């Protein structure tokens, strides 16, 4: 199934690149939706909602799966009454979304087609249920920082995939307008109290959430891990000192419509190119009323230097990983 889907998306890409104007891919949408639903259900089938092995198997499968997805996407609750660009969503590098967020859902293989009412963008509605009873460190950050958010995740029964004219997913949302028919046994989970910390130490002294650390992305044998970790730490200190984390955490204090998360290693890694660009152009940091904030030149240079060093270590670690498939 993986290869089948890959062949389809390959065909789509050839078409798109050969075309002067964006064309509808040759394979009918329903066939693409069905193939995608089948490959998601094969990778991440329904299992008990506390089944950690099922979650890990799904994560590994999604690491290897080629999805028809843009390099960066927006993800969050659907907010059907709002135009796509006005939906308050979180901006993700697709790799981060695909391997940290998507595995939190189990897929049934059921799907239907829909379209966005205003833009007419096609939507594939994938029936899916949220794994709500995993250990806290399996979630990319404590979703229970907001009771509403946790409850909305639990109630959700579909993941909506919005396609752009290239046929690629550019927005993904969760919603509760689907069916609960295949949900199975599901009880509300009372989450731990949120103490304001996006990262914490567990009883064994291990930093959590472990899924947000480099160890969840790179092999322990990767010889660049120590240097990568060091470069991340320097970067994290710099952006904390420049108050970037006042706004760039799930609390979304600045109420950004496309929130950028920088509070963990893997979230920061996914956004590093955007960070370099935004700091270089002076777009960031902002102040509380959304204006560009002047910071001393040497501060800006120090943020940039640490960001570039972090990016370069990421590139080295990725290169090694690509040469040593697990
Ligand atoms: C006072 C709040 C605030 C602070 C402080 C802040 N940002 Fe932002 N940032 C925002 C908002 C709001 C946006 C969304 C931009 C928009 O759409 O207006 C944003 C957008 C971004 C983006 C995405 C830009 C793009 O176009 O892709 C990056 C990257 C970013 N910020 C990095 C940083 C970094 C790095 C710092 C610290 C040097 C920082 N920000 C400080 C509020 C803030």
Residue identified by tokens 């909305």 is: 152
List Cβ neighbours of 43 (8 Å cut-off, separation of 6 or more): 58, 61, 62, 65, 107
pLDDT confidence of residue 25: 58
Q: Which residues line ligand 1 (CB under 6 A)?
A: 239, 242-244, 246-248, 254, 256, 258, 260, 271, 274-275, 278-279, 284-288, 303
CA of residue 110 relative to chain centroid, distance: 22
Structure tokens at 152: 């909305």
Closest ligand 1 atom to the C-alpha of 255?
Answer: 12
| 196 C-alpha to ligand 1 centroid (Å) | 21
Ligand 1 centre distance from Cα of residue 284 (Å):
5
CA of 34 to the centre of ligand 1 (A): 38
- Dist CA 254 CA 234 (whole Å): 25
| Residue-by-residue pLDDT tens, the chain, 326 positions | 333 344 444 444 433 333 334 445 589 999 999 999 999 999 999 999 999 999 999 999 999 999 999 999 999 999 999 999 999 999 999 999 999 999 999 999 999 999 999 999 999 999 999 999 999 999 999 999 999 999 999 999 999 999 999 999 999 999 999 999 999 999 999 998 999 999 999 999 999 999 999 999 999 999 999 999 999 999 999 999 999 999 999 999 999 999 999 999 999 999 999 999 999 999 999 999 999 999 999 999 999 999 999 999 999 999 999 999 87
Q: How far is the CA of 248 from the centre of ligand 1 (A)?
A: 7
Per-residue model confidence (pLDDT) at position 5: 42
Please report, for residues 54, 242, 272, the alpha-carbon distance to residue 237 in angstroms, rounded to integers and kept in the order given: 36, 9, 15
Task: Give the pLDDT confidence score for residue 24 in this predicted structure.
Answer: 53
CA pair distance 93, 66, nearest whole angstrom: 14
CB 66 within 8 A of CB 9: yes
The whole-number pLDDT of residue 26 equals 82
Cα 221 from Cα 207, distance rounded (Å): 20
Instruction: From the CA of 274, give the closest atom in ligand 1.
Output: 29
- Candidate from 243, 247, 274 with most ligand 1 atoms within 8 A of CB, to mutate: 247
Q: Which residue has the tokens 């806290």?
A: 136
**pLDDT score, position 2:** 39
């Amino acid at each position: 199934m993986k290869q089948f889907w890959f062949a389809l998306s390959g065909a789509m890409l050839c078409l798109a690149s050969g075309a002067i104007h964006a064309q509808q891919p040759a394979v009918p949408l329903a066939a693409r939706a069905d193939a995608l639903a089948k490959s998601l259900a094969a990778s991440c089938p329904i299992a008990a909602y506390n089944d950690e092995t099922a979650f890990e198997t799904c994560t590994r499968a999604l690491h290897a799966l080629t999805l028809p997805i843009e390099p960066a996407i927006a993800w969050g609750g659907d907010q059907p009454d709002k135009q796509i660009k006005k939906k308050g969503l979180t901006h993700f590098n697709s790799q981060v979304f695909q391997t940290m967020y998507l595995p939190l859902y189990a897929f049934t293989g059921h799907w239907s087609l829909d379209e966005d009412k205003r833009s007419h963008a096609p939507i594939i509605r994938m029936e899916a249920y949220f794994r709500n009873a995993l250990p806290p460190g399996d979630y990319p950050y404590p979703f229970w920082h907001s009771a509403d958010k946790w409850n909305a995740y639990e109630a959700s029964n579909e993941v909506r995939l919005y396609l752009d004219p290239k046929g690629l997913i550019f927005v993904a949302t969760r919603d509760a307008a689907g069916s609960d028919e295949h949900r199975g046994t599901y009880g509300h989970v009372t989450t731990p109290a949120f103490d304001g910390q996006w990262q914490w130490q567990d009883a064994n002294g291990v930093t959590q959430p472990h899924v947000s650390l480099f160890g969840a992305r790179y092999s322990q044998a990767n010889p660049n891990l120590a240097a990568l970790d060091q470069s991340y730490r320097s970067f994290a200190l710099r952006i904390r000192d420049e108050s970037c984390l006042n706004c760039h955490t799930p609390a979304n204090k600045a109420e950004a419509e496309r929130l950028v998360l920088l509070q963990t290693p893997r979230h920061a890694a996914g956004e590093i190119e955007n960070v370099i660009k935004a700091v270089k152009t002076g777009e960031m940091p902002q102040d509380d009323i959304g204006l560009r904030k002047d910071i001393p030149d040497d501060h800006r240079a120090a943020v940039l230097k640490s960001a570039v060093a972090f990016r370069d270590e990421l590139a080295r670690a990725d290169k090694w990983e690509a040469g040593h498939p697990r």
